[in-house]
C-alpha cells in the first residue's frame, strides 16, 4: 500500500474501530432505576475487538518499515475520540477523567509502539 494511502487509511480505521467497539458515553450508569450500584457501558468484547484492530494496524505499520508512525497514526485517533467523549459528558461527582484519559492514552501509545516493533521484527 502506498505511504500516502496508509497515512490516511490507518488513522481512519483506528478511529472507526473506536467508534464501533466502544460507546460514546463512557459514564457509569445505574443497573436499573432506583438502585445504587452502577455498571459500565463498556463490554469486554468491545475492548478486545478494539485491541485486536489497533494491534494489527500497528503491527502492519511496523512490518512496512514505519514503526515510529504507529503512535500518531494508530493511537492518536482513539485517544482524541476518548478525550472528546470525556469532555462532552461531564461527571456529576469528582471528575477523574483527566487521569483516566492520560492512563488510557499512554496504554494505547505503548501498545501501538510495542506492536509496531514486533511487526518490524517480522519484516522480511
**Residue 2, C-alpha cell as written in the block:** 502506498
pTM, full prediction: 0.85
Query: What pLDDT was estimated at residue 94?
Result: 58
Report the pLDDT value the prediction gives residue 26, as an integer from 0 to 100. Answer: 72
Mark the ranges of the chain whose per-residue pLDDT is less than 50.
Answer: none
29: which strand partners? Answer: 39
Query: How far is 47 from 49, CA to CA, in rounded Å?
Result: 5
Each residue's pLDDT tens digit, 69-91: 999 999 999 999 999 888 887 66
Q: What are phi and psi of 122, to 5 degrees?
A: -90, 5
Domain ranges for the chain: 3-121
The pLDDT of residue 21 is: 94
Predicted local distance difference test score (pLDDT) of residue 28: 67
- Reading phi first (left if > 0) and then psi (alpha if -120 to 50, else beta), residue 52 is in alpha
Q: Give the per-residue pLDDT at 53.
A: 97
Residue 47 DSSP label: H
Amino acid at each position: 500500500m502506498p505511504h500516502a494511502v496508509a497515512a490516511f487509511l490507518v488513522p481512519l480505521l483506528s478511529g472507526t474501530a473506536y467508534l464501533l467497539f466502544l460507546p460514546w458515553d463512557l459514564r457509569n450508569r445505574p443497573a436499573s432505576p432506583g438502585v445504587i450500584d452502577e455498571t459500565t457501558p463498556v463490554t469486554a468484547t468491545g475492548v478486545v475487538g478494539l485491541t485486536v484492530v489497533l494491534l494489527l494496524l500497528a503491527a502492519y505499520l511496523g512490518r512496512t518499515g514505519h514503526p515510529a508512525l504507529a503512535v500518531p497514526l494508530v493511537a492518536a485517533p482513539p485517544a482524541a475520540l476518548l478525550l472528546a467523549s470525556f469532555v462532552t459528558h461531564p461527571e456529576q461527582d469528582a471528575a477523574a477523567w483527566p487521569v483516566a484519559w492520560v492512563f488510557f492514552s499512554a496504554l494505547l501509545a505503548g501498545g501501538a509502539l510495542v506492536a509496531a516493533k514486533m511487526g518490524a521484527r517480522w519484516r522480511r
